[in-house]
Chains A and B, each alone.
Chain A
Amino acid sequence: MSGSDHDVTRLLHAWRSGDASARDQLLAIVHEELRARAAARLRRERPGHVLQPTALVNEAYLRLVGQRQTEWQNRAHFLAVASEMMRRILVDHARRRKMGKRSGGWARVTLGEAAVQIDPRDVDLLDLDAALDELASIDVRRSRVAELRFFGGLSLEDVAHTEGRSRATVERDWLLARAWLYRRLTDRRDGDDA
């Protein structure tokens, strides 16, 4: 393990008080932890089994920050860092896998119940990644909100907290980002089929 409880907690505090370098150090520690755990998990996983990144992130939190450390703000900030890392790890993995053989829906995103009229219901992770990048080129802020939701499972409150904006603003950002991504992803799929 690259950082003790104490280190990560201290870095989280430092970041929250505005120390940008603390965030970089955190990223390194969290990335190392998540990468190792995800790799181990993916090796063990049966084909077709669903990897649960949010579960993974939670485990990493408990390992790095510890069970007794229960400050909610720390946790939200941790999740924010972790979701960025998780996205990188999952996308890398999906890419390698795609090069090897085309298969498996282990890294797919459900569109949720409301979208049953659209079929197939799943979105490819690489498409989502590309769409997020494209959105970021127009609007970094909203792309970030979507990233936190998709890869960290952060609630709107948590996003508001880590991004330092009001919940109302974050909700508006999310609605727009969601609509934009949904449209981009469903359009693209139609294109593929044609």
Chain B
Amino acid sequence: MTPERWRRVSAMFHLALARTSVDREAFIADACGGDPALQREVAGLLSAHDQGRGFGDTPVGGPAPPLARGTVLGPYVIESWIGAGGMGEVYKARDPRLDRTVAIKMLSSGIVNDVASREGFVHEARAIAALNHPNICTLHDVGDNYLVMELVAGATLRECLQRPLPLARGLGIARQVLAALAAAHRGGVVHGDLKPDNVMVRADGYVKVLDFGLASWLPTAGRIDASLATAATDRSPILGTIAYMSPEQIEGQAVDQRSDLFAFGITLYEILSGQHPWPRASPSETLLAILGDDPAPLDTGPDGSAELAGVVRTLLRKDPAERYATAEIALRALTTAAAHRGSFAAPAETLPLTSIAVLPFACPTDGEDSRTLSLGFADALVTIFGNLQDIVVSPTAAILAYAADSDPARVCRELGVHYSLQGTVQKLEAGWRVSIRLFEAVTQTTALSEDYEFDLAQVFEIQDDIGGDVVELLKGRFASAALKSRDRYSRNAEAYGAFMAGLRDSSSDRLDTLQHAAGHLTKAVEHDPEFALAHATLSFVSMNIHFQFDPQNTWVQQAEYHCRRALALAPDLPEVHLARSWILWSPAKGFQHIEAIEALERVLATRPHLERAHNRMSSICQHIGRLAEARQAHEQALRSNPKTRTGNLEWIYLMSGDYAGAEKATEAWYLERPGNLYALMTRVLPPLWSGDLDTAAQRLAVVLTALPDEPLNHSMQAMLHARRGQSDLALQCVRRALESPRSFGHTHHVHHYIASAYALLGDTVTAMAWLQRSVAGGWACWPFFRIDPFLENLREEREFTRLMAELEQTYSTFEITRL
């Protein structure tokens, strides 16, 4: 291959990677037009890219081979490998005597012999095993070269910290960690190695602190080395294992419970700010900084509270005598500070939530009826559970990706839920049978297993029965009177079948699939013109097609027509109000913020955990400068679905003027979804607004290649040129933005950027006019306009201050009740 050829292959490969996998094939075909060999080469590399993920993540030779399943270790039988911990490999194993599943931690050779011969070992081991507290992972047994402990399913706090943690959730975790420390200290055990990697967070929010007291069995010097060694080869994109040692520990002095409080202080600092208080290029420098430097001032974001920062400062005092004397006192201080914090966290969040996913039911017999019932059962149950106050249910859209026979443990893990419900529908000689199985992730057991027989005329009653049985078992409470499935769906079999077919396709992000959905739903309302849910869903789908793909007004008209029909038929149906809010908050309707918020509030009254309603609420709140509420709605969406991914968080940071926070969040978003166009566009803004123009220019170049006729990009480029004082180029970009054939829902942002470009160039009159237009078009984030670095030149203008006061008056007074 010639170097020139290789350069082309390389460029195509990276350009294609920046696209979604769906778009890739078309992109390569287009970009390699007329060169089939090149196209083959690039396509081959892309498929190798997809298949070869993880290749090379383990270097040659790799880690030591794990113990095989079935290996006997004392009385225990190894079941599977869980991971590698700081001390050695960890396995899931079974204790046949007690019929109990446990975690076994193998100890690297040497440790045990050294330790077991030590004076006082037995006494220490007994003290640790005697700890009995719900937030402490129990030590069951100590073997020759292994430890046996309680098996905890969940994610480490380190993993949770990979992305910003909602404040209330973070504080909930912190409180449980402190409670564990307090109990252990009472029992005379110092943890000695507390860090986010040793804190497990279960799917239900319950915290278990691991490895209490084990650190005392390792020499401190060995731990410093281990921590440095892992840091040097660590593959995590951020920092890797960093030091959590107190100054007295580093200096090798005697260590007591206050040392744990210091480590907890570092952990709490990370929970609040997402970063270590002494971020340094290397762990050894961090260790030095712990000894000598003050921590970086705690940035708790726009919701920061001085009291919380004060608690952290006290925990991180270098002199143990200046820290809290006990974990109990620290816990009291933390609780008080948390109660006084800003308005962001909803008090309800302290209640633990249970979560459940309902998979499409399996239908061994093929046929239209079966396919309809497969999703029909799932949707009915999702709806019933969606009405529960203290139970979060994965939305229908999220479960469609799973086959009916998926491994329930995997479903729970991937969706981050506590329970999964699976079912099978079978045709009998006379009638039908449905069997359900409710799987509980924490215990890895079946919590409920039932058969129901029915004929098709009773299908809705059976759905309600199943829902009722599960709700009873989960002790769920309904937010409002539950609608019977019979009243929700249609008794007309054709209409019902067409609706389910349409529902299956209604959450797609592809135009052709959405058009199919609209086709099926249209058939559903033709077969049964009184089918309110089908009208509402059709309205919603039409609006999504309009907003994302097709600016044609006919979609809006269709959406409005079916929404009106649905509203007349079922004025309380939450889906109707969801559809209504989508219509109200659209470019076609001039983004009616307050009305759309009201419609969403009606949805949330009956569907308290509907992720998409929370997400939309968050977006709207940003557009009118209600940043605290935007944050709160975003946290609610995260609570309903930990995997929810929008640009809301990134924009909240941006609009609060926290460009460092925005940078971190956008880069995390971009790394997670490199092909997402919104992520590509959004990541230009943090460096642009914070003045790192070269980085902004680089990112802009990338997104301009991906979306060459997107007016948002041209308007961002106009800002960049204006900021560099290149007025001709800036004006050229303004023209290009306005002439671009691609119409887009968010033109009001383009107008804001054009206003910024003119403001930077000193043309305040034109700038003001564009800003007015942006506001009129629905972008009214006045708190940001007041600090927008590019609108500096407008700040003194009388017209500007008047507009800001007006917006504040309009949007800051009304109350948003459902968040």
- By a beta-carbon cutoff of 8 Å, the part of chain A in contact with chain B is 50-54, 58, 62, 67, 70-73, 75-76, 79, 86, 90, 106-107, 109-115, 117-118, 125, 128, 138-139, 146, 149-156, 158, 172, 174-176, 178-183, 186
Contact = CB atoms under 8 A, between A and B. Distances in A.
B62 interface: yes
Given A75-B232, A90-B60, A109-B60, 8 more contacts: A50-B61, A52-B61, A79-B232, A113-B54, A114-B52, A155-B235, A176-B45, A186-B48
Contacts of B3: 138
Nearest to B49: A179
A180 B1 CA distance: 13
Given A178-B49, A186-B48, A150 B233 contact: no
B492 interface: no
Contacts of A139: 6, 10
Nearest to A151: B60
Given A54-B61, A175-B49, A182 B229 contact: no
B564 to A, nearest CB: 49
B99 to A, nearest CB: 30
A107 B60 contact: yes
B60 A112 contact: no
6 contacts: A70-B228, A73-B281, A156-B237, A158-B232, A176-B14, A183-B44
B17 A112 contact: no
B53 interface: yes
Contact of A146 (B14, B17, B56, B63): B56
Contact of B63 (A52, A115, A117, A149): A52
Contacts of B6: 138-139
Contacts of A73: 281-282
A111 B59 CA distance: 10
Given A53-B61, A72-B284, A154-B233, A115 B56 contact: no
Contact of B51 (A110, A118, A125, A158): A118
Contacts of A154: 233
Contact of B55 (A52, A112, A138, A156): A112
Nearest to B698: A168
Nearest to B667: A168
A79 B495 CA distance: 67
B120 interface: no
B728 interface: no
Given A50-B62, A111-B55, A138-B6, A183 B233 contact: no
B428 to A, nearest CB: 38
Given A54-B233, A73-B282, A79-B232, A179 B61 contact: no
A90 B62 CA distance: 14
A76 B49 contact: no
B13 interface: yes
Contacts of A155: 232-235, 240
Contact of A138 (B1, B62, B281, B284): B1
A180 B44 CA distance: 9
Interface residues of B, number: 44
B686 to A, nearest CB: 15
Name, among B60, B62, B229, B235, the residue most crowded by chain A CB atoms within 10 Å (CB to CB). Answer: B60
Contacts of B221: 67
A71 B59 CA distance: 23
Given A112-B55, A114-B53, A176-B45, A52 B235 contact: no
A179 B235 contact: no
Nearest to A139: B6
A179 B54 contact: no
Interface string B769-808: 0000000000000000000000000000000000000000
A53 B59 contact: yes
B229 A58 contact: yes
A112 B282 contact: no
Contact of A54 (B13, B44, B59): B59
A70 B280 CA distance: 13
B512 interface: no
A178 B52 contact: yes
B687 to A, nearest CB: 13
B245 interface: no
Contacts of A146: 56
A70 B45 CA distance: 39
A176 to B, nearest CB: 6
A194 to B, nearest CB: 18
A139 B7 CA distance: 10
Interface in B46-83: 46-49, 51-65
B232 A76 contact: yes
B233 A112 contact: no
B283 interface: yes
Given A138-B1, A178-B52, A183-B48, A72 B283 contact: yes
B231 interface: yes
Contacts of A115: 51-55
Interface centre among A51, A62, A106, A178 (most CB of B within 10 A): A178
B668 to A, nearest CB: 14
B159 interface: no
Contacts of A138: 1, 3, 6
A32 to B, nearest CB: 21
A182 B52 contact: yes
Nearest to A148: B59
A175 B56 CA distance: 10
B283 A125 contact: no
Given A50-B64, A179-B49, A72 B232 contact: yes
A90 B235 CA distance: 23
A59 B443 CA distance: 42
Contact of B59 (A67, A153, A178, A180): A153
A69 to B, nearest CB: 9
A45 B310 CA distance: 56
B235 A156 contact: yes
Contacts of B63: 52
A22 B284 CA distance: 25
A71 B284 contact: yes
B763 interface: no
